[in-house]
Amino acid sequence: MKMDIAIALFGIISAISFSVVHAQDLSDVDRDTKALELFLQDKQDYKDYCQHISWEQPKIKVYKETLKSHLPEGCK
């Protein structure tokens, strides 16, 4: 339920942000969006499939830098 609210809130904020973003900033917005998607997906996947593995999720900044999943090895 909390995840659904977070995703809905993100969608609303993104829609508002996209309407005021300039073209030169679009790539940054796209990168941030992808990073947030990966962050939230890792969080959900860990909860659903990997709670038996010890893992501390990296900060969103790490996802923005790498644009990849950071689930622990052997998860999912």
3-state secondary structure the chain: CHHHHHHHHHHHHHHHHHHHCCHHHHHHHHHHHHHHHHHHHHHHHHHHHCCCCCCCCCCHHHHHHHCCCCCCCCCC
Q: Is the pLDDT of residue 39 over 70?
A: yes
Residue 6, pLDDT score: 63
Residue 63, pLDDT score: 95
Residue 28, pLDDT score: 87
Average pLDDT over residues 3-25: 54
Q: Is the pLDDT of residue 23 over 70?
A: no
